[in-house]
Amino acid sequence: SGELPTSHPNYHKDAYTEQGPAPSFASGGWGMPSVVAEDWVLPLPQAAQHEDRCAHNTEIIRGRTIEAIIQSEYRHNTQRGRAQSSESKGVLRFAIALLILLVTIAARPTRAMKLVIQRVKSASVAVEGKIVSSIGPGLMALVGLHGDDREEDLQFCCKRLLAAKLFENDNGVAWRHGVKQRGLEVLCVSQFTLYGTLTKKNQPDYKLSMKSVPAEEMYNRFLQMLRSNYEEGKVLDGRFGAMMDVSLVNDGPVTIVVES
């Protein structure tokens, strides 16, 4: 809408009228009709070319705009897809970890091998009125086997029993030495009732305990482990499966419960 300077080659005040074509320009003359645009004119060929260029540029701009929109939408969808994929992978990893945890918990025994360890001044076991084993100062252990116990449970309890620091050291400091360091004796008594529970009628139920035949085998294996890791003559026991009279003088009293 602005005016061209008078020095512009297309500048002409009276370039076109209804009576006829505009006169030639001083720069050499065009000798052809022109289009008036307020106070300045463009020759028709240039006007047509200008319009074509504008239309072409508009199409280019439109094309680039559409292309930019498509690219932007593609990037947005790609990022959203990656986010959803990452979220899905995270959920899947969590589900797998939870499943592994549940399987691990389910595979673990609900109970374990159990020892009731007592520090004693003396202890003995009698069967049918006859003493079958007796010890002086040392440890007496009631041994309970659960139905799910394995070799690892035996090893764990064996190590704990022999390493339990329930005695003084040579300087009289408490809780510093175990039976091996003091050279004391160990008396083991099989005790399936450690896994007894009471029913609603207050009757004892021993279904959690290991059955008699495998329990005897496991118990004897436990005694072998103790004797192999200590001195054979210092590890004694009662009589598996028998009705026993157990006597002891608890020193302290000191009683420790160990579960594998």
Catalytic residues: 191-193
Rg (CA), the chain: 51
Q: Are 176 and 167 in contact (CB under 8 A)?
A: yes
Q: Residue 236 pairs with which residues in a beta bridge?
A: 187
- Helix (DSSP H) and strand (DSSP E) numbers for the chain: 4, 10
Rounded to whole angstroms, the Cα distance separating 17 from 34 reads 10
SS3 76: helix
The tokens for 163 are 């390493």
Amino acid at 123: A
Rounded to whole angstroms, the Cα distance separating 123 from 179 reads 15
Rounded to whole angstroms, the Cα distance separating 246 from 241 reads 14
Q: Are 188 and 237 in contact (CB under 8 A)?
A: yes
Rounded to whole angstroms, the Cα distance separating 112 from 125 reads 25
Rounded to whole angstroms, the Cα distance separating 165 from 175 reads 5
Residue tagged 């041994």 (tokens): 143
SS3 10: coil
* Helix or strand holding residue 254 (H, E): strand 244-259
